[in-house]
Structure formats: structure tokens, C-alpha cells
Structure 1
Amino acid sequence: MFRRDTDECGTSGSSSLLGLRIASIFIIGLGSVFGALFPVLARRSKYFSIPKSLFDFAKYFGSGVIIATSFIHLLSPAIEELSSPCLPEGWSEYPYALALCLLSIFAIFIVELVAFRWGTAILTKIGIRHDAHGHDSGSHTAHGPEGEMMTSNSSSKDVESSGMSQDPQSETHQHSDSKLDSAVAQVIGVAVLEFGVVLHSVLIGLTLAVNESFKILFVVLVFHQTFEGLGLGSRLAFMSLPSKYNYIPVLGALLFGITTPVGIAVGLGLRTAYSPNTPTALMVSGILDSLSAGILIYTGLVELLAHEFLFNKEMMEGSNTQIAYALTAMLLGCGLMALLGKWA
């Protein structure tokens, strides 16, 4: 990991290749939107006959991309930025990047824990038994379409075992509330993931706009954003929401698509005044990278890996071929994204 020369601290960003830098707003934006939006639209479209295995590949490939992004593209730069010689000496006396990442992981965990305990308590009061994470049945409702079936099946079994008939109106109301709860859980899970990804995308757009090694970074970021968009889009595509909320996955994909272009545009507007080497820029970027890394580490390892494999009944009871296929896709995504870390 290289160290900056203190003479470089505070130098302004590069304004060379201005035309290509402006073009990168649209090129990277197109790649980002395509990567995030295509899985969502393809899964809904009647004109695309895409096999489920391909969607599964995109989903697990995306999980690998997100995990590699957290460690290689966020945590590593954060450590470098917050230990830069451009910063006051006190910043080098403690591993602040790792501490902030740790803080972010536990903050997300506590927020999610409180949110689900609160939601479960409310549902219990109105007579609905629902496990938002699907631990009872081995599936995970917050991040997959199997949650609605789990809730419905559990309700049916409870009624059968009690030997009582259930009022149709009550059953409809219970199913509607359970479906809404499942939708809220999914939105919370994906919102946490998107927040970390979007924050990262804005920062790399800002960096690209003023970086001296623009050509190499530009090419790498086209692939970087397309892969990252694919990872997010595959999650958005598999959200199971009530029909009136079907716009949320599309909105999430478009939001991701515009973040890096916005970062580039802001960076170009400030290119004569902004430098990524100034102490303020290093502190802001390092802190945000550390917090984003914690968000994506928690989301990638807990919400994606654990719940897609360990708590997923389909995976636990699936064939060895199915497991191998999912693992290969995930490791490929992780490996390719980690490789891009050599240049960006």
C-alpha cells in the first residue's frame, strides 16, 4: 500500500482530458443503470425467457461482488486514507478505519435487531405469528420470494393442528398483514445494502473526476459499476412485494445508476478547488469508506451468505450440483471484483 508524498497534500485535481471526463458521466451511468435495471426488468418481462439458473447465477455472482467491494474497494482505501501522512499525526496512532468499520457493523446489527423485535411485538399483539427472518422454516423472507409461502404454510399448519376452522375474512386479513410485514422486511434489508453501495458509488465518481490516472481508472470503473449494479439488481429483482409497491425495485436500480455520474459531475465542477489529497478530503472519504465497508460486510456476510446458504431450506436440501453452482458463481464474482482492486 503506497504512501503519499507530503508535497502532494493539498494539490488540486487534474483538469486534463476534460471531454473524456464529461463523457464518462454518461458511459458509466449507462453501465450502472443497465447492470442494476436489467435483472429487475428481465424477471418481470413476458418477452424475455431467461432460465432460473441464469438469475441464480446473477444473484450469487452479485453476492461475491458485494463482499469483495467491502474489503478491497472500501476498507483497504479507508485504511490508506486515514493513515496518510497528509493527516495530523494523531490519525496514525490508532486504526481508526477499522474501528469505524466495526462501529458500522454493530450499528447496523443493533438497528436491524431493534426494528425486527419492534415489528414482531406489534404483529404478536394483533395475533400474527411471523418470523421475519424465517428461522423456523429455514428460509429468509427478508431477501427472497420464499417468505410469503413460509408464512402462509405456517398459518395453515397452525389451524390444522388446532382442529379449528378459520374465518375466511380473518385469514385474508392475516395473510395481507403478513405479506406487508414481509415486504417491509425486504425493503429494510435492501435499503441497508443500497445505502452502502450508493455512498461508495458517489465517492468513486468524485475521485474519478479529478484523478490523474483517469484512463485506467475509467475503464476499470465501467466494469466495476456494471458488476456492482448486477449484484444490487439481482437482489432487487427477487423482492416479493405487493403490487402497489412494485415500483420500489425499479426506483432502487435507477438511484444506483445515477449516483456515480452525480459524483463525477460534482467532481468536475470542483476540479480546480477539490483535491483527494487534502486533509479534509482524506478524512471525509476515509470515514465514509470505513462506514460503508462495515455496512457491506454485515450485509454481505450475514444477510446474503448466511441467509442464502445456511438458513435457506432450498439450499440445505438441494443437490451437491446446485450448491457447487451457487458457490462457483459467488466466488467468480468475488474474484473478478477483487482483481479490479489492482487498478481501482
Structure 2
Amino acid sequence: MRHTRNRRLSRRDDGDTPNCGDGGGADTFFALRVASVFIVLIGSLLGALFPVLARRSKSLKIPTSVYDFAKYFGSGVIIATAFIHLLDPAIEELGDSDCLDPKWGDYPYALALTLLSVFATFIVEIIAFRWGSAKLAAIGVTNIPRGHGVITHDPDDPQFNHGVDEEKLHADSASVVLAQNPTGFVADSAATKMLGIAILEFGILLHSVFIGLTLAVDPNFKILFIVIVFHQTFEGLGVGSRLAYLDLPKKYSYVPIVGALLYGITTPIGIAVGLGIRTTYNPFSTTASIVSGILDSISAGILIYTGLVELLAHEFLFSKDMMNGSNSKIIYAVTWMLLGCGIMALLGKWA
């Protein structure tokens, strides 16, 4: 997330030549910038950790509908983040910056990198399903993924026992074994959820550092600060609600907490680093534009793939509970998702 629409406002003292290298970022509101490290940290951790800890608490009996709200609202936030807060800035950073050679505008590099990121994520997921399934089975996650679900094979059930090689089914848990499913849908897999949340969190963490760097030195601090607090909290709810429902063996129960903590600390670390190098780091420089544009493009591709495939397709089309659920349940989920997407897209007007 970068305030690239004000990029042309970063000028040298003469007001005509863009400041593309020398000097640092803005140094106004320094005390508030320092306080933002802790405020953003609290908001991020609250959003990501609360669902994880609340679900494990025996005293807090939070209705499932609250977790559903956080999950679907967060899904909308993540999808809007990909298009509005990552892809759009990347296009400006790699094609509409005064500090870049005009040749950068001859080709849509940001879109090309985003496209590359989408297919790279897809290929990584294929490899992970084929190779990683056996590794996950070794630690107790034994569900066999089929696309974005899991085959539930019962040898005593004639509906599922149509010549499937039982030895092959159990000997090679990394293989995709076709079995008839009379419902047309497949159940959720712990292995699928683990891989999906890992890809999602990687894409989010990749751009979180630059969010922090930008907040530390951007001249439009007040507006950007408010937007980032909301952004990190809402996005944290989406990540945390999914981490809370990871079905892992007991000895790996710490993984969701570690994931929530990583999300919570990344942006504050970026802010702290930005404050430390504020006298030399110019967010409008040529190097910063290129690096940020590339990372924003890659992050956008990851979140677009994850948002559309893992969050939309997997949570709705490939979810047995959702597709067999009532119309009111689907309307509830879609409404909160659209609201989250709409609010985050609206915040793009100021950041």
C-alpha cells in the first residue's frame, strides 16, 4: 500500500525536478509515527490473535456466527486489498512515476508480474499437494486432498467402493485418487487449509513491510495511519479466523498462534525500520518505486489467486456445508464478504 497518487508532489526545493534519490521521507508528526508502531501492533494482533485464542478458550463461548462473520468479511477485505491496495499502486509505481525511465511505460510490467505470480502460486500449490501430502500425513494430517477437498473413502460403503485400489489409496497419499462422490461435493481437508493459509499469509507478509515503511515516512501520515489501522485489523480478522479453524495434531497446536503473531508484528517492524532510516529512505526514489512496484505486483498475484480460488471457490463452490446449507446461510456469507470488500475498496480512496 503506497500513496502513489501523491508521488508527483515529492519535489526538490526548486519545485520542478522530482526528488528521485537524495534525502529522506517526511519527518513530521514524529511522536505520532513512533506511537503508530504500537497502535498498529495492537490492532493487528487483536484482529489475528483474538479468533485463535477465543476458539481455544473454555470460558469464552463465542457463537460460530461470529467466526463466520470474521472469515467472510476478511475474505472480502483480502480480495479488495489485492486489486485496490496492491495492483493499482503497482501499476503506478512501475509505469507512472516521474522517477522512472519512460520506457517503463512501454509495457504493463506490473500486470505481467501479477500474472506471473498467479501462475507461480498455482504451480507451487500443485507441487505442494503432490509432494507435501505425504509429509503432512507423516505428522498426523492424513486427509488425502482431491483438488480443493478430500476423499472420504469408506471400504464398507458400496457407494464409494467401485474398484478403487485400496493399497494404492493408502500407499501413496500424495497421489490424486479418483473415487465416486454421489453428492457432487467434497469435504474440507486439513492439508488443504494449511496450504491455503500458508500461501495467503506469505502474500500478506510480503507487502506488510512496505506498508510499514510507507507509514513511517509518507507526508500524508494522518490519513494513511487511520486507513492502515483499519486495514490491518480487518485483514487480521480474515487471517485469524482461518488460523483458528486449522485442524492440526496436538503437538502442532502452536502453529496458528505463530501465524497470528507473524502477521501482527510484520507491519510494526516495517514502521520501526522506516523510522530508523527516515533520513536516507526516500519512498519516491527510483529504487523504491521499482522494488515496491515489483513486490506489490507479486503480492497482488498471490492474493488474487488465494482470494478467488482458496477463499471464494473453496469456501463456497467446493464446501459441502455451504452448498448443502440454507439460502439464508449463503446470503449471510456473501453479504458480509461484499461488505468487507466494499469498505476496503472505499478506503483505497485515501490510501
The Cα shift of 1:23 comes to: 0.5
Q: 2:193 aligns with which of 186, 193, 206?
A: 186
CA offset digits 1:26-57 (Å, max 9, x no partner): 00000000000001111111111111111111
Query: Which residues of structure 1 form unaligned runs of 5+?
Result: 142-146, 175-181
Q: 1:38 aligns with which of 25, 50, 64?
A: 50
Q: Report matched runs for 1:226-245 at 5 Å.
A: 226-245=233-252
C-alpha distance in structure 1 between counterparts of 2:161 and 2:337, whole Å: 41
Amino acid at match of 1:4: R
Q: 1:263 aligns with which of 270, 291, 297?
A: 270
Determine helix, strand or coil for the equivalent of 1:50. Answer: coil
**Is 1:7 the counterpart of 2:11 in the alignment?**
no
Distance 1:130 1:87, change over 3 A: same
Q: 1:276 aligns with which of 274, 279, 283?
A: 283
C-alpha distance in structure 2 between counterparts of 1:39 and 1:203, whole Å: 26
The Cα shift of 1:119 comes to: 4.6
The Cα shift of 1:161 comes to: 4.8
Distance 1:2 1:18, change over 3 A: closer
Contact 1:36 1:256 in 2 (8 A): yes
Determine helix, strand or coil for the equivalent of 2:118. Answer: helix
Tell me the equivalent position of 2:123: 110
Per mean C-alpha deviation after superposition, the further-off stretch among 3-12 and 223-232 is 3-12
Tell me the equivalent position of 1:144: none
Distance 1:156 1:243, change over 3 A: farther
C-alpha distance in structure 2 between counterparts of 1:250 and 1:120, whole Å: 22
TM-score, length-scaled by structure 2: 0.83
Query: Which residues of structure 2 form unaligned runs of 5+?
Result: 10-16, 174-188
Amino acid at match of 1:232: V
C-alpha distance in structure 1 between counterparts of 2:27 and 2:222, whole Å: 13
Distance 1:96 1:49, change over 3 A: same
CA offset digits 1:135-172 (Å, max 9, x no partner): 5xxxx55xxxxx6xx63x6466379958xxx9xxxx9x
**Is 1:90 the counterpart of 2:103 in the alignment?**
yes
CA offset digits 1:238-288 (Å, max 9, x no partner): 111111111000000000000011000000011000011100000000000
Per mean C-alpha deviation after superposition, the further-off stretch among 244-253 and 183-192 is 183-192
C-alpha distance in structure 2 between counterparts of 1:240 and 1:337, whole Å: 29
Distance 1:99 1:156, change over 3 A: farther
The Cα shift of 1:340 comes to: 1.0
Q: What do you get for the CA RMSD once the two structures are aligned?
A: 2.7
CA offset digits 1:114-142 (Å, max 9, x no partner): 22133568999xxx995414x5xxxx55x
Per mean C-alpha deviation after superposition, the further-off stretch among 237-246 and 6-15 is 6-15
The Cα shift of 1:7 comes to: 2.0
Tell me the equivalent position of 2:183: none
Tell me the equivalent position of 2:304: 297
Distance 1:114 1:129, change over 3 A: same
The Cα shift of 1:87 comes to: 0.8
Contact 1:183 1:242 in 2 (8 A): no
Distance 1:155 1:37, change over 3 A: farther
Tell me the equivalent position of 2:314: 307
Distance 1:302 1:88, change over 3 A: same
Determine helix, strand or coil for the equivalent of 1:49. Answer: coil
Distance 1:122 1:78, change over 3 A: closer
**Is 1:81 the counterpart of 2:111 in the alignment?**
no
Distance 1:100 1:156, change over 3 A: farther
Contact 2:111 2:297 in 1 (8 A): yes
C-alpha distance in structure 2 between counterparts of 1:51 and 1:317, whole Å: 21
TM-score, length-scaled by structure 1: 0.84
Tell me the equivalent position of 1:330: 337
The Cα shift of 1:191 comes to: 1.1
